[in-house]
């Protein structure tokens, strides 16, 4: 599997094997169907700390768009020190899939995207819930909420994709998503 997802041959093998065995395809494989015909992928983001709002296409006709990626990276920067970091493309794809799965029309409200090591260390000193080796520092994690979607439904929608980490923080009203190993926790 390459960076853009399951290729046609791999998908056909997976689908054929699932049909032959009488087993349903996993949700992540089903999400790949139709992608070959999808022309554009975009994200809607609102950074709650800076007030920046963005609706940017980041993928068009099978290619990532540099301009959209640069805009997304800027909105997801460390708002405490302004440091911009290249967000992991798998994270953007995960956000897009969550957005599609939930039929979301509103932008994701971003609580935290990229965090510099210095910011992460400062947060660790004030909270026991901040990981020493946080995936936020690698551009592989985001803390969000989604207006019009119950926090619990956002959590369930992300879990149904079966990829990466999902942290549920109802007391702080956000869901953590990352593209690390698959796991779930409640904060």
Do residue 148 and residue 87 come from a single domain? yes
Q: How large a percentage of the chain has pLDDT more than 90?
A: 74
Q: What is the pLDDT of residue 130?
A: 87
Tell me the two tokens of residue 102.
């939930």
Tens digit of each residue's pLDDT (9 = 90 or more) over 94-133: 999 999 999 999 999 999 999 999 999 999 898 877 888 9
The answer to whether the beta carbons of residues 104 and 175 sit under 8 Å apart is no
Q: What is the pLDDT of residue 31?
A: 44
CATH number, position 107: 3.30.1380.10
Do residue 20 and residue 49 come from a single domain? no
Contact partners, residue 152, CB within 8 Å, separation at least 6:
168, 170
Contact partners, residue 74, CB within 8 Å, separation at least 6:
52, 84
Do residue 65 and residue 130 come from a single domain? yes
CA 131 to chain centre: 18
Do residue 33 and residue 58 come from a single domain? no
Do residue 75 and residue 167 come from a single domain? yes
CA distances in angstroms from 89 to 16, 35, 37, 68, 139, listed in the order given: 28, 16, 19, 12, 9
- Nearest to residue 52, comparing CAs of 70, 83, 88, 76? 76
Do residue 62 and residue 19 come from a single domain? no
pLDDT at 18 over 60: no
- Residue-averaged pLDDT of the chain: 85
Q: What is the pLDDT of residue 128?
A: 76
Do residue 89 and residue 142 come from a single domain? yes
What's the predicted TM-score (pTM) here?
Answer: 0.79
Q: What is the pLDDT of residue 176?
A: 97
Q: What is the pLDDT of residue 92?
A: 98
Do residue 18 and residue 55 come from a single domain? no
The answer to whether the beta carbons of residues 162 and 28 sit under 8 Å apart is yes
Do residue 55 and residue 103 come from a single domain? yes
Tens digit of each residue's pLDDT (9 = 90 or more) over 58-104: 999 999 999 999 999 999 999 999 999 999 999 999 999 999 999 99
Do residue 5 and residue 70 come from a single domain? no
Q: Which residue has the higher pLDDT, 9 or 182?
A: 182
Q: How large a percentage of the chain has pLDDT more than 70?
A: 80
Number of domains in the chain: 2
Tell me the residue range of the domain where 5 lies. Answer: 1-37
Do residue 22 and residue 111 come from a single domain? no
Do residue 168 and residue 178 come from a single domain? yes
- Nearest to residue 102, comparing CAs of 164, 167, 40, 147? 147
């Amino acid at each position: 599997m390459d960076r853009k997802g399951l290729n046609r041959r791999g998908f056909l093998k997976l689908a054929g094997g699932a049909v032959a065995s009488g087993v349903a395809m996993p949700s992540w494989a089903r999400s790949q169907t139709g992608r070959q015909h999808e022309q554009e992928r975009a994200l809607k983001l609102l950074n709650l700390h800076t007030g920046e709002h963005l609706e940017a296409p980041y993928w068009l006709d099978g290619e990532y768009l540099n301009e959209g990626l640069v805009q997304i990276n800027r909105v997801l920067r460390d708002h405490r020190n302004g440091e911009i970091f290249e967000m992991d493309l798998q994270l953007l794809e995960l956000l897009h899939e969550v957005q599609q799965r939930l039929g979301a029309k509103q932008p994701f409200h971003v609580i935290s995207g990229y965090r510099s090591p210095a910011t992460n260390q400062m947060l660790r000193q004030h909270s026991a819930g901040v990981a020493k080796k946080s995936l936020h520092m690698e551009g592989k994690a985001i803390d969000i909420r989604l207006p019009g979607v119950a926090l619990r439904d956002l959590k369930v929608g992300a879990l149904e994709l079966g990829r990466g980490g999902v942290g549920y923080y109802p007391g702080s009203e956000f869901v953590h998503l990352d593209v690390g190993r698959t796991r779930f926790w409640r904060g």
